Structure 1
Amino acid sequence: MTELSLQAAQQVLGSQPFSALLGARLTAFGGGAATLEIGVREELRQQNGFLHGGVLAYAADNALTFAAGTTLGPAVLTGGFSIQYIRPATGRTLSARAVVVHTGRRQAVARCDLYTVDEEGTETLCAVAQGTVLSARTA
């Protein structure tokens, strides 16, 4: 399979209205890995001032799926994922970094570490996720 380019993957992300609403951007893509970033802004926070857990779950879901797309091909769907929140997400940027840990003929398993990055560039792990991504050609 020929891998998609980062630019082609960014176009796919850009075609998703919800991703555009959140301001998500794909900053790395290829070789069984993908990184998705979101700038933290007031509208994405919950009542205590932390980044909403739903934003973290979205970032994990999309990062897992994009990473798996580098090994399964561009037609993929999330089969399911779980996320564990480690600490409240604060900072200026959320970075979801996913890597494929296994690829079969029809599905891939990937792991995603979610970090927040503060004004000084310090990264703090705030959640981890793992998921299964299915090839849409066989779904």
Structure 2
Amino acid sequence: MGNNDFFDRAEQALKAQTFSQLVGTELKEYKPGEVVLEIPIKDNLLQQHKFVHGGVVSYAADNALTFAGGSTLGPNVLTSEYKINYVRPAFGEKLIARASVIYSGKRQAVCRCDVFVQDVEGEEKLCATSQGTIVSVSS
């Protein structure tokens, strides 16, 4: 399978996730062991203090972790567990979730993800970091 086919299959999986479509998630990079997802920040993703809601930041990390794990384990994967640390409130133009595989075996992958917020000038600031275990499931 070529690199374009690999990316296209991942993009199709993302488009099949209705929640991902609701928040406007875009797949920017997908290769074995690495993924980058972006979410444009819109008013309907903010909490009462005008920061991106923590659930949206958490979703970005979880989904990026799962896509990263799936890049080595195959498409039939689920998140078994993950932990997230919020390090600063997110406000700006878009969220960028960058995930990578730390270790991958036959049935599980341990992955990490950093979520950044980008401002109008293109400057990125870390807003959360996470680590999770992704598992292969029967189809």
- Which TM-score band applies after superposition, normalised by the shorter structure? over 0.9
Residue in 2 that maps onto 1:43: 44
Cα distance in 2 for partners of 1:57, 1:99 equals 16
Match runs of 1:45-64 below 5 Å = 45-64=46-65
Identity between Structure 1 and Structure 2 (%)? 51
Q: Which runs of 5+ in 2 are unaligned?
A: none
Are 1:137 and 2:135 counterparts?
Answer: no
1:91-112: CA deviations, max 9, x gaps?
A: 1010000000000111000000
Shift of 1:137: 2.7
Q: Which runs of 5+ in 1 are unaligned?
A: none
- TM-score, length-normalised on structure 1? 0.95
SS in 1 for 2:120: coil
Residue in 1 that maps onto 2:82: 81
Q: Which amino acid aligns with 1:14?
A: K
1:22-78: CA deviations, max 9, x gaps?
A: 111111111201111100010000000000000001000100000011110111011
Cα distance in 1 for partners of 2:69, 2:36 equals 12
Q: Which amino acid aligns with 2:23?
A: L
1:93-137: CA deviations, max 9, x gaps?
A: 100000000001110000000000000000000000100000013
Kindly tell me the number of residue pairs found equivalent between the two proteins.
138
Q: Mark the CA change 1:14 to 1:26 in structure 2 (over 3 Å): closer, same or farther.
A: same
Match runs of 1:99-138 below 5 Å = 99-137=100-138
Are 1:17 and 2:15 counterparts?
Answer: no
Q: Which amino acid aligns with 2:101?
A: V
Cα distance in 1 for partners of 2:43, 2:120 equals 16
RMSD between superposed Cα atoms in Å = 1.6
Cα distance in 1 for partners of 2:118, 2:8 equals 24
Q: Mark the CA change 1:52 to 1:61 in structure 2 (over 3 Å): closer, same or farther.
A: same
Cα distance in 1 for partners of 2:29, 2:96 equals 11
Q: Which amino acid aligns with 2:59?
A: Y
